[in-house]
Amino acid sequence: MSVQRIHDALVKVFTPVTRILFYIGLVFLAGMMLLTAADVIGRYFFNSPILGSFEITEYLMVIVMATSLAYCGIMKGHVEIELVADRLPEKTQNILGCITSFLGFILFIFITWQCFIYIRDMAASKAASTVHYIPAWPFVLILAIGFTVFSLVLLLRFLEYLSKAFSR
């Protein structure tokens, strides 16, 4: 089986997964916006802010970022510096893409691994928010899952560049 076929099969699997995660993130983003608006209205019009809204917003931001990162990666929405790379031959661009996507994959595998170690430590120490005492480890778990999916998206990019670099 060729690298291109493996890539295409994995894209068919991961695109719906990242899209579902993205929509979940949109729901939490809407909740974060509503919470912030309610807090501002309560603070300025009724002199009664929502207790702990800042820490809830922080946790919601983790969910939004973790669920959106892979979708942005699969849609090729991340920033790329193309000033020099666009002037290189296409084969060289694809080889550079192979190298950078593979290095990104390795980096995010290590980040994910460290997130899981951090989850274990946070659960053992019972780290929680200061106002509502919400445990922090489930949010780091969501972040680790997001990083895992993003790592797999980077692996897909690597396979894409690999198939382009070594195609005839």
Give residue-wise pLDDT tens across range 57-101.
999 999 999 999 999 888 887 777 677 777 888 888 888 889 999
119 pLDDT higher than 70 = yes
Burial class (CB in 10 A: 0-12, 13-18, 19+), 117: exposed
Instruction: Give 157 or 14, the one with higher predicted confidence.
Output: 157
Q: pTM to 2 decimals?
A: 0.86
Tokens of 92: 């060289």
Q: Over 90: is that where the pLDDT of 108 sits?
A: yes
Query: pLDDT for 133-158, tens place per residue?
Result: 999 999 999 999 999 999 999 999 99
- Apex 104 CA angle, 4 and 89, nearest 5: 60
Where are the domains positioned within the chain?
Answer: 3-165
- Give the integer Cα–Cα distance in Å for 23 and 96: 32
Residue 29 reports pLDDT greater than 70: yes
Work out the angle between the directed axes of helices 3-45 and 53-74 (0-180°, nearest 10): 160
Residue 4, pLDDT score: 76
pLDDT at 130 over 70: yes
Amino acid at 107: L
pLDDT at site 168: 63
Q: 145-148: long-range contacts (C-beta < 8 A, 24 or more apart)?
A: 145/66, 146/21, 146/65, 146/66, 146/67, 146/69, 146/70, 147/66, 147/69, 147/108, 147/111, 147/112, 147/115, 148/112
Amino acid 15: pLDDT: 86
Beta carbons within 10 angstroms of residue 7's beta carbon: 20
Residue with tokens 């702990």: 52
Question: Residue 148's pLDDT is what?
Answer: 94
